[in-house]
Amino acid sequence: MIELDDIDRQILRALARDAGQSAGALGRDLGLSQPATWRRIRRLTDAGVIRGKRVRLNAERLGFGVTVFLGVKLARKGQVTLEDFERAMSAIPEVQTVEHVLGVYDFRLRVVARDLADFERVLRRRIMALPGAGEVEANVLLSEERRPGPLG
Amino acid sequence: MLDDTDRRILRQYQAEPGAPVADLAARAGVTPSTWGRRLERMERAGVIEGLEAVIDWRALGYEITVSLRFTLDKTVPRAFEDFLEAARAIPEVLELQTFVGRVDVRLLLLARDMGHYQRLYREKILTLPHIVDIDALMHIAQIKNEDRLPL
């Protein structure tokens, strides 16, 4: 496992906020030269710590007014293979994330929709219609905050 | 506000934000200068909020990810504010969400291993204010994580 120092952690925090900035600009903020910053970013990327980049879009401005977190139970285990169920759920465009979990549910899903009526359509026609889909719990997202995580 | 060209650009951009602009513009069927101009306009309009690095916490030694789902005591006027403020102070909390539904608040918690999780749970989570009920979903496998919008 890769060892991080304080500067690595500052770089990760800064890139998690804004991955569009150049190594030069980032280095200036941290008192590092451009090549030194670039080498550190390269090392973090090679070690798999930085996995890639993600665009943050404003869902509401793009017409997706509703985000729902779903807990889904498999109806009768064994009847449908997990792989089939996972593949079918992942193929639904409105489903952003699918996670296999241990607990009161078997899967947790993050679903976006235009509005509640659209969500109901996705839930009834696409998710609950899947062979193997059992009990479902829906919680409609009100607010969301992402934190930098344990980076010093 | 957005036209088909904007949507095509956003689709390509969110699919592979790190790819060279010339490639992305070609995939969207526009010139690089149109690409740049449209992205800038969508940034100004707040449609594109930013670009962030994705951190793989496993590569940093965090093997455990848990969704903790809370019901709070809504008879307390500041239950949500107090709870969220205290939860923000826990460095291992990666996400905080509030909901309408059976669950009031969800925290996404990272831990190095089961021992670390148990310590965090006892010392930091159970001591959060105004909790009525908690359940935990332990993440086993990420099947799909695109965080993309179906444009």
Per-residue pLDDT of chain B (151 residues; tens, 9 = 90+): 789 999 999 999 999 998 999 999 999 999 999 999 999 999 999 999 999 999 999 999 999 999 999 999 999 999 999 999 999 999 999 999 999 999 999 999 999 999 999 999 999 999 999 999 999 999 999 999 877 899 8
A49 and B59 within 8 Å at the Cβ level: the answer is yes
Kindly report whether the global pTM for this prediction surpasses the value 0.90.
Answer: yes
Strand partners, A102: B138
* Closest to B88 (Cα-Cα) out of A14, A11, A145: A145
CATH 3.40.140.10, applies to A60-140? no
pLDDT at A2: 87
Query: Which ipTM did the prediction report?
Result: 0.91
Residues B27 and B89 in one domain: no
Residues B63 and B30 in one domain: no
In chain B, which residues have their Cβ closer than 8 Å to the Cβ of A91? none
Residues B16 and B73 in one domain: no
Select the residue of A49, A62, A98 nearest B151 (Cβ to Cβ).
Answer: A62
Backbone angles phi, psi at B112, to 5 degrees: -70, -40
Residues B86 and B108 in one domain: yes
**B51 occurs within a structural domain:** no
Residue type, A137: E
Chain A: closest CA distance from residue B126 (Å): 18
Residues B70 and B9 in one domain: no
pLDDT at A131: 87
Whether A61 and chain B come into contact, CB under 8 Å, resolves to yes
pLDDT at A81: 82
Check which CATH number belongs to the domain holding B16 and give it.
1.10.10
The residue of chain A with its CA nearest to that of B84 is A145
B96 and A100 within 8 Å at the Cβ level: the answer is no
d(CA A137, CA A118): 17
pLDDT at B94: 97
Class of the CATH-defined domain A6-46: mainly alpha
In chain A, which residues have their Cβ closer than 8 Å to the Cβ of B57? 149
**B40 occurs within a structural domain:** yes
Residues B91 and B124 in one domain: yes
Check which CATH number belongs to the domain holding B81 and give it.
3.30.70.920
pLDDT at A78: 60
Low-confidence ranges of chain A (pLDDT < 50): none
Residues B37 and B12 in one domain: yes
Ranges of each domain in chain A: 6-46, 60-140
pLDDT at B53: 95
Total number of domains constituting chain B:
2
Residues B32 and B71 in one domain: no
In which domain, by residue range, is B17 found? 4-44
**B68 occurs within a structural domain:** yes
**B145 occurs within a structural domain:** no
pLDDT at A45: 96
Task: List, as ranges, residues 14-43 from A with C-beta within 8 Å of B.
Answer: 15-20
